[in-house]
């Protein structure tokens, strides 16, 4: 008798085990469950939040690709700067359009899952955005559970709230909410999506990135796809799953074309300085970034706006 769990995204019982992975950090294998109704892929068991300690943020934890310490100390010296500039550009374009929120002169921006605060610092340093209606000041807030959130509050003076504190904020608090590579770390995405949807102003934009499990690379690699890190990536999405999640939360999918976000992903994966140098040059070739985008389905994953 199968004891397949209900889907953690849509609640359907129409799920099946798709495979398992063993990892040195866990005595038990991690099981991937696929939902046949919403295409969500979710991992059991779920690793406790304590995995997000200082070692994790320094790249000595389960994900060697992150180095948030460098980002915390000097984000301008890291490759993530291209990602931050891309996100601010996308937000600025959105704010320049007719359906964007118009109330108030400031742009209230929540970075949900702010990690070591690189994007918060970039936004604070950027200070303002230029829109057809004039210059608007950026007011930033972060939210996270990791070891850096306290440091960002006390050492860097940021307004960083826990998810529980976010839930106490009034409806429509933000023009822009970013959730960059964060939703894959959350066991039940539905309540979080409803919270973010409620906190967006009408016309506000949710800038969300996460791996695309329906991309050509993911289909080719299966559970060997690099994004399958079951200790931390416990919720895995494809465009259809995201669209359904947005719809259930009252949001409308919105597709954007990423550039700097893809540049960062390419350089982050380089490994050695020589490969990084080669990739940096490859990114200048016409079509290379678009090819990577197609392969990994980055821009195929929708963002969302509140109607
Ligand atoms: Zn489902």
Residues 235/183, Cβ–Cβ less than 8 Å: yes
Of 10, 68, 6, 4, the closest CA to residue 189 belongs to 10
List the structure tokens of 171.
């409806």
The per-residue pLDDT for range 122-157, each reduced to its tens digit, is 999 999 999 887 899 999 999 998 778 888 999 999
List the structure tokens of 39.
């295409």
Digit-by-digit pLDDT tens for the chain (307 residues) are 457 899 999 999 999 999 999 988 778 899 999 999 999 999 999 988 777 777 777 777 777 666 777 777 888 888 889 999 999 999 999 999 877 777 668 999 999 999 889 999 999 999 999 988 789 999 999 999 877 888 899 999 999 999 999 999 999 999 999 999 999 999 999 999 999 999 999 999 999 999 999 999 999 999 999 999 999 999 999 999 999 999 999 999 999 999 999 999 899 888 788 998 999 999 999 899 999 999 999 999 999 999 9
Q: Does domain 51-210+241-305 have CATH number 3.40.50.150?
A: yes
Distance 44 CA to ligand 1 centre (A): 15
Distance 20 CA to ligand 1 centre (A): 19
Residues 141/168, Cβ–Cβ less than 8 Å: no
- Mean per-residue pLDDT of the chain: 91
Distance 47 CA to ligand 1 centre (A): 21
Ordered by start, the domain boundaries in the chain are 51-210+241-305
- Separation of alpha carbons 128 and 126, rounded Å: 6
Which residue is it, tokens 């949807």? 197
Distance 8 CA to ligand 1 centre (A): 7
């Amino acid at each position: 008798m199968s004891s397949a769990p209900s889907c953690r995204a849509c609640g359907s019982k129409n799920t099946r085990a798709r495979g398992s992975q063993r990892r040195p950090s866990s005595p038990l294998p991690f099981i991937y469950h696929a939902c046949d109704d919403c295409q969500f892929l979710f991992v059991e068991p779920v690793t406790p939040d304590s995995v997000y300690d200082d070692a994790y943020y320094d790249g000595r934890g389960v994900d060697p690709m992150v180095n948030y310490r460098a980002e915390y100390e000097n984000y301008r010296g890291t490759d993530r700067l291209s990602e931050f500039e891309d996100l601010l550009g996308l937000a600025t374009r959105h704010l320049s359009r007719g359906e964007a929120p118009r109330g108030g002169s400031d742009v209230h921006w929540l970075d949900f899952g702010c990690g070591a605060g690189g994007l918060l610092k970039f936004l604070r340093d950027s200070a303002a955005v230029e829109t057809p209606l004039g210059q608007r000041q950026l007011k930033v807030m972060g939210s996270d559970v990791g070891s850096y959130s306290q440091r960002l509050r006390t050492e860097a003076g940021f307004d960083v709230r826990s998810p529980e504190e976010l839930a106490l904020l009034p409806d429509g608090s933000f023009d822009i909410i970013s959730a960059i590579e964060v939703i894959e770390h959350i066991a039940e995405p539905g309540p979080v999506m409803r919270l973010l949807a409620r906190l967006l102003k009408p016309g506000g934009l949710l800038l969300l990135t996460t791996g695309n499990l329906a991309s050509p690379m993911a289909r080719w690699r299966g559970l060997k796809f690099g994004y399958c890190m079951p200790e931390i990536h416990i919720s895995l999405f494809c465009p259809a799953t995201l669209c359904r999640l947005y719809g259930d939360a009252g949001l409308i999918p919105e597709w954007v074309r990423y550039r700097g976000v893809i540049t960062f992903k390419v350089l982050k994966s380089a490994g050695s300085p020589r490969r990084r140098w080669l990739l940096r040059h490859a990114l200048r070739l016409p079509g290379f970034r678009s090819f990577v985008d197609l392969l990994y389905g980055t821009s195929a994953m929708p963002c969302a706006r509140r109607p």
